[in-house]
């Protein structure tokens, strides 16, 4: 599939100055960030598209190459097009690399670095029923994770211990290692990124400031939540080292298959059988919904395979009082066993009908005549 024009993606003209490109990217990146659009599977794709466009148009040389040759100039990774991780680019733009634990610390590689000791973000996959997704519910989950150590209150130091600035990294928490032409910053091996050393580490956590234990966390599941939606619980991830901030917990929702209903967005779909006599004569049938059964009128002469819509009996829309629709597919049930009286009555009925009451069959017969004429 061909890519959209990068200027179109960033909603700017080709003659615009760099600062306008930067402002437009900042505005659109916030709007389309996946954490701002829970339940929208296309949000991350739009977010990545914005990052790719800014990676090119935000660089003077790349922009000039793009203006001359278009997307073809960067096919196969040429000129470094689209090499940035979109979430790293976002943090760089907004200065969010310090582990602040905000909404944009995305769990696909998000969170603070080793220098601030921020705890890791965690992911938990939660399965719920369609009924629970329809009504909304409260769930309690249990997981083992690293908590702030009770004995040392997260400091990593035993009582009376002396805390000193790390002599190797001089408190920065990082050291720079040379690898050929490159220099790579990595956590200090002496203080493990804390920037400080302790002469008497806590015995329980061995100076890390955290220990593993089981947690129970309550979650409110909103009505209308969809498959793959992510809920973020701020600060419910792992504790940081030596008093560093907690990571976040991201709960990914999975909805169990339902025996009656299937779902597309806010619309629900189901199949129901109706008796042959109701299809022919018309009447009312009871239709199941997630809020309880409702009555639906069937016109006389309804054919098998007909579809009906019951408005506002689908799934709730998130953060709205509106609901989708229920789509009902009718299957006309033909009797499988007939007694003598029933068979005779049906044969009489068939004789009385003739072709006048079978327009679909008559039309099919006419098409066959044309085919073999």
pLDDT band at 92 (very low <50, low <70, confident <90, very high): low
Query: In sequence order, what DSSP letters do the residues of 225-275 get, joined into one string?
Result: --TT-EEEETT-SPPPGGGPPP--EEEEEEEPPPSS-EEETTEEEEEEEEE
Class of 262-372 per CATH?
mainly beta
**DSSP secondary structure letter of residue 82:** T
pLDDT at position 285 is: 95
> What pLDDT was estimated at residue 130?
97
Q: How far apart are the two ends of the chain, measured CA to CA in Å?
A: 46
Q: Is-contact 137 162, C-beta < 8 A?
A: no
Q: How far apart are CA 317 and CA 81, in angstroms?
A: 38
Q: Is the pLDDT of residue 81 over 90?
A: no
What percentage of the chain reaches a pLDDT higher than 90?
Answer: 39
Instruction: State the DSSP code for 13.
Output: -
pLDDT band at 84 (very low <50, low <70, confident <90, very high): low
Residue 326 has pLDDT above 50, yes or no: yes
Write down the pTM of the prediction. 0.60
Summarised one tens digit per residue, pLDDT across range 243-272 is 778 899 999 999 999 999 999 999 999 999
CA-CA distance, 170 to 173, in Å (whole number)? 8
CATH of span 6-94: 1.10.287.110
Residue 184 has pLDDT above 80, yes or no: no
Whether 114-255 shares its CATH topology with 262-372 is answered yes
Domain map (residue ranges) of the chain: 6-94, 114-255, 262-372
Q: What is the mean pLDDT of the chain?
A: 83
Burial class of residue 195, CB neighbours in 10 A (0-12, 13-18, 19+) = buried
Residue 102 has pLDDT above 80, yes or no: no
Mean pLDDT within 20-29: 89
Residue corresponding to tokens 């009582």: 159
* Three-state DSSP class for residue 143: strand
Under CATH, what is the fold of the domain 114-255? Answer: HSP40/DNAj peptide-binding domain (2.60.260)
Q: What is 153-173 written as a DSSP string? A: TTS-B-TT--EEE-TTTTTSS
pLDDT for res 198: 86
């Amino acid at each position: 599939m061909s890519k959209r024009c990068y200027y179109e993606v960033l909603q700017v003209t080709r003659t615009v100055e760099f600062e306008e490109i930067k402002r437009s990217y900042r505005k659109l990146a916030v709007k389309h960030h996946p954490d701002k659009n829970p339940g929208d599977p296309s949000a991350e794709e739009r977010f990545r598209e914005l990052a790719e466009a800014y990676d090119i148009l935000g660089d003077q040389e790349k922009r000039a190459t793009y203006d001359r040759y278009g997307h073809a100039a960067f096919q196969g990774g040429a000129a470094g097009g689209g090499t940035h991780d979109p979430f790293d680019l976002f943090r760089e733009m907004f200065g969010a690399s310090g582990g602040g634990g905000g909404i944009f610390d995305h769990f696909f590689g998000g969170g603070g670095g080793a220098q601030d000791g921020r705890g890791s973000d965690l992911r938990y996959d939660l399965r719920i029923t369609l009924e629970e997704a329809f009504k909304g519910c409260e769930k309690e989950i249990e997981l083992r994770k690293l908590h702030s150590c009770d004995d040392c209150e997260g400091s990593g130091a035993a009582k009376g211990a002396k805390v000193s600035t790390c002599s190797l990294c001089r408190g920065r928490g990082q050291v720079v290692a040379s690898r050929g032409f490159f220099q790579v910053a990595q956590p200090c091996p002496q203080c493990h990124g804390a920037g400080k050393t302790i002469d008497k580490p806590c015995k329980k956590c061995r100076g890390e400031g955290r220990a593993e234990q089981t947690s129970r966390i309550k979650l409110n599941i909103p009505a209308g939540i969809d498959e793959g939606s992510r809920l973020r619980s701020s600060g419910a991830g792992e504790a940081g080292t030596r008093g560093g901030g907690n990571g976040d917990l991201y709960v990914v929702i999975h909805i169990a298959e339902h025996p009656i209903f299937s779902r597309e967005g806010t619309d629900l779909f189901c199949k129901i059988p109706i008796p042959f006599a109701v299809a022919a004569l018309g009447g009312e049938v009871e239709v199941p919904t997630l809020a309880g059964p409702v009555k639906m009128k069937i016109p006389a002469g309804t054919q098998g395979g007909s579809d009906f819509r019951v408005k506002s009996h689908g799934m709730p829309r998130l953060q709205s009082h509106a609901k989708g629709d229920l789509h009902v597919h009718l299957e006309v049930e033909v009797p499988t066993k007939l007694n003598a009286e029933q068979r005779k009555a049906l044969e009489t009925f068939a004789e009385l009908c003739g072709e006048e009451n079978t327009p679909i069959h008559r039309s099919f017969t006419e098409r066959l005549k044309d085919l073999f004429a």
